Amino acid sequence: MTPLLDLPSAHAVHTGWRSRPAAQQPAWPDPAALESAVGTLTASAPLVLPRACDLLKSRLAAVARGEAFLVQGGDCAESLDSADTAAVGRTASTLQQLATVFGYMMSLPVVTVARMAGQYAKPRSAGTETRQGVELPVYRGDAVNGHAFTAAARAPDPHRMVRVHRRSGATLLLVRAHCASEQAGPGYALDALRKFAAGAPERARYEALTQEIERAGGFIGTGGGWHTPGELFMSHEGLLLDYESALTRVDTATGRPYATSGHLLWIGERTRLLGGAHVEYFSRISNPVAVKVGPGAEADDLMRLIDRLSPGDEPGRLTLVARMGAGRVREVLPGLVERVAAEGRTVAWVSDPMHGNTIGSPSGHKTRRFDDILDELAGFFEVLLGLGAHPGGVHLEMTGDDVTECVGGGAGIGFADLPERYRSVCDPRLNRDQSLDLAYRLADLLDAVRPPGGVEEARR
């Protein structure tokens, strides 16, 4: 597909955001190097095609209507240096297993989206990091600089964006191979859940639940937890506007511009300023988009954001990801959900129970308590169901690997265990068992949270 920098509509996409304040952008030290990287990306192949973005939008429209559930998850930050290609398959498998449990729990088809093939840029709370009196630029993700604490590694290098594009293309090939294999078939996820339940501390309850899932076999008339067998979409935070803009292409069939770096892009909590560059760029692309919504969000601002990002109120276009913290979700979320409903806007509400619950461990690791994550998720369901709205999905930082980054869960990971297998270069992820624990525990809790008529009744 040709990059249409010379068409007026595309031109507006490439230039519109440049006159707005762009938060959280790297201070690229060498303008010529930036120009060269952007030129390479502009001439590079798209990673996803508009038609697949439209398909995801139609799936998310079902979520917004209360007819499907979204399971989205993956690393906080992908790593360019990781040689472990099989990790992609393990995370995809875990997402499918989560989709199987959540699909059963909600009696709905599940739309599955990975934080993958582009999740390489991080917004940070501070611009620098100081260790033993040495102050260096903060790590902003492998798309920008290196994680090692040296001046050379921490210098932003725009060529990293080109490496991210290439690596993301390779990741997509791995994902496609995985999704086309028997490992993405309907029986595989159930088998994995059976084994997980048999080894879980709460074995009796988990095995009973797994049997219910099996009995409901093909509960949604599709395969193994996926909405459609093997259907896994890619997403990342659209943070680096130089990268996103250079990979924007016009769909020649419709004349509409799309970000071709991933099917779904989201705007983070730190960059959703109404007059900012991110909202401007996102307002011009045709992909389905999401916005993180933190505990400080005001209903008036949120409505203006919805007007900017989804002026036509097209179902599936906009997903709102509440990330309030376990202690705030029950207090802050109801007002926002009620206001959006009162104004008749069509959005999907999803819970990110990770980012409002980050704490420091005594060893200095960023971590999160499993119980806080579960509590925020339970609060999200209570709020939405209590208002007769649809709890549309979960957005998790997780991996298919046995890392020790979050504390708690069935295996009882404690603060002292964190250094053992803390592999994240940014935020702590739920490991594979903790991810499944979360789904099983929530399914149990929902029996108590669900109103007498069940989810179906609450939605009427």
Tell me the binding residues for phosphoenolpyruvate: 115, 269-270, 292, 323
Q: Where are the beta strands (DSSP E) in 372-431?
A: 391-397
Smallest gap from Cβ 105 to ligand E4P, in A, equals: 27
Q: Report yes or no: 305 and 274 within 8 Å, Cβ to Cβ.
A: yes
Smaller CB separation from ligand E4P, 76 or 277: 76
Binding string to ligand PEP for residues 286 to 305, with x set by CB under 6 A, is what? ------x-------------
Whether residue 398 contacts residue 354, with contact meaning beta carbons closer than 8 Å, is answered with no
- The C-alpha atoms of residue 148 and residue 97 are separated, in whole angstroms, by 34
Q: Which of 426, 430, 438, 446 binds ligand E4P (CB under 6 A)?
A: 426
Smallest distance from ligand PEP to CB 336, Å: 15
> Which listed residue (16, 46, 123, 229) binds ligand PEP by CB under 6 A?
123
Instruction: State the amino acid at position 276 in one-letter form.
Output: G
Paired with 321 in beta bridges are 292, 350
Residue 78 contact partner, candidates ligand PEP, ligand E4P, Mn ion, none, CB within 5 to 8 A by sort of partner = none
Among residues 8, 19, 81, 125, the one that binds ligand E4P under rule CB under 6 A: 125
Residue number with CB closer to ligand E4P (209 or 426): 426
Question: Which residue lies nearer to Mn ion by CB, 188 or 370?
Answer: 370
Nearer to Mn ion, 142 or 427 (CB): 427
Interface pattern 342-361 for ligand E4P (x via CB under 6 A): -------------x------
- Candidates 157, 244, 405, 427: give the one binding Mn ion (CB under 5 A): 427
Residue nearest to ligand PEP (CB): 268
- Site residues (CB under 6 A) for ligand PEP, limited to 329-368: 352, 355
Of the two residues 10 and 321, which places its CB atom closer to Mn ion in the complex? Answer: 321
Question: In angstroms, rounded to a whole number, what is the distance separating the alpha carbons of residues 267 and 253?
Answer: 27
Choose the binding region for Mn ion from 54-62, 88-96, 218-226, 423-431 (rule: CB under 5 A).
Answer: 423-431
Cα–Cα distances in angstroms (integers) from residue 349 to residues 63, 332, 371, 383, in the given order: 9, 14, 22, 11
Tokens found for residue 394: 């979960």
Helix (H, G, I), strand (E, B) or coil at 322: strand
CA distance 203 to 209: 10
Q: Which of 76, 111, 113, 265 is close enough to bind Mn ion by CB under 5 A?
A: 76
- Show binding-site residues for Mn(2+): 76, 355, 397, 427
Q: State the Cα–Cα distance between residues 323 and 373, nearest whole angstrom.
A: 10
349 contact partners, CB below 8 Å, separation of at least 6: 319, 320, 322, 337, 380, 384, 389, 390, 391, 392
Residue 437: CB atoms within 10 A of its CB come to 24
The token duo for 218 is 């093909």
Q: Dihedrals φ, ψ of 249, to 5°?
A: -130, 150
Please give the residue ranges that form the binding site for ligand PEP (CB under 6 A).
76, 123, 237, 268-270, 292, 323, 352, 355, 427
Please give the residue ranges that form the binding site for Mn ion (CB under 5 A).
76, 427
